[in-house]
Amino acid sequence: MLVDQYDAFLVDMDGVVHVGDSPVPGAVDAIQELRERGKSVRFVTNNSRARRETLVEDLQGFGIEADPEDVVSAAWATAEYLAEQGIESVSLVGGEGFAEMIRAHGIAVRDEAVDAVVVGHDDTVAYADIKQATQLIYEEGASLVAANADGWYPTSDGIAPGTGATVAAIEAATGAAATVVGKPEPRLFEIAMEGLSPERTVMVGDNPQADLVGAEAAGIDAVLVTGTGGDVDAGDLDGVEVSPVTTVESLATLFT
């Protein structure tokens, strides 16, 4: 059985554990069964909308026990990255949850005289936000940092544009290349895999560009969940041959 091959499961959230405000059928029971079998479960998400504590509350609302240390999010890792780089002020294209995490790291969030423009998910993003980001990069020399570059993410009413769509617009307007912190870049995987054996760790996700490419770069196996995502081809992505060890419709089918 597949689950017997691994000791640790890195589990994506959006599209694997839940879609919108509803848990994916069977996901809660599957996570409980993994834990009952003695498996380590860590949630590795490109979510840049909410604090880790909020994500934990979401998991608990679905019936999944979790602590903030169990959740490795792109927003939290981006705030850590900014602090490590000595960034003192940023202009944020993103929501208040992301802003709170950045401020908690001692970094000012404002609209002018900033070191960097930081992009996270914001479903209210407008032309004025992209214009301001463009001008800060052009006129003040601000760097461009993105929590992730996901072009899409699953919602209860279908696929929606992700953070990467906003990042692409700013890159197109400025010619700048964003520094991406989230999946498929290695930072999230390095944090999530602390203390784990790569040979006995697997990533379970629904986004080939983020989850499969990132897992391959991190040197671990990956399982592609196909039942709730965008029916994306998991084959040749950006010139890199990416092959999951298997595809499943949901977490529940890990045990079949």
For 72-82, write each residue's pLDDT tens digit.
Answer: 999 999 999 99
Q: Within the chain, which residue ranges are assigned CATH 3.40.50.1000? A: 2-46+184-255, 85-180
| Of residues 137 and 21, more confidently modeled | 137
Catalytic residue among 12, 150, 206, 221: 12
* 121-150 mean pLDDT: 96
Residue 154: its pLDDT value, please? 79
Catalytic residue among 7, 14, 122, 150: 14
Residue 237: its pLDDT value, please? 47
Query: Which pLDDT band holds residue 241 (cuts at 50, 70, 90)?
Result: low
Residue 2: its pLDDT value, please? 87
Q: Is 12 an active-site residue?
A: yes
Domain 85-180 fold: Rossmann fold (3.40.50)
Write out pLDDT tens, residues 32-55: 999 999 999 999 999 998 899 999
Task: Give me 169's structure tokens.
Answer: 């617009």
| Of residues 92 and 226, more confidently modeled | 92
User: What is the chain's mean pLDDT, rounded?
Assistant: 92
Residue 228: its pLDDT value, please? 62
Give the CATH number of domain 2-46+184-255. 3.40.50.1000
| Of residues 154 and 142, more confidently modeled | 142
Q: Which of 100, 111, 91 is nearest to 73 (CA)?
A: 100
What is the length of the chain?
256
pTM for the full model?
0.85
pLDDT at 236 over 80: no
Q: Is 14 an active-site residue?
A: yes
pLDDT at 240 over 90: no
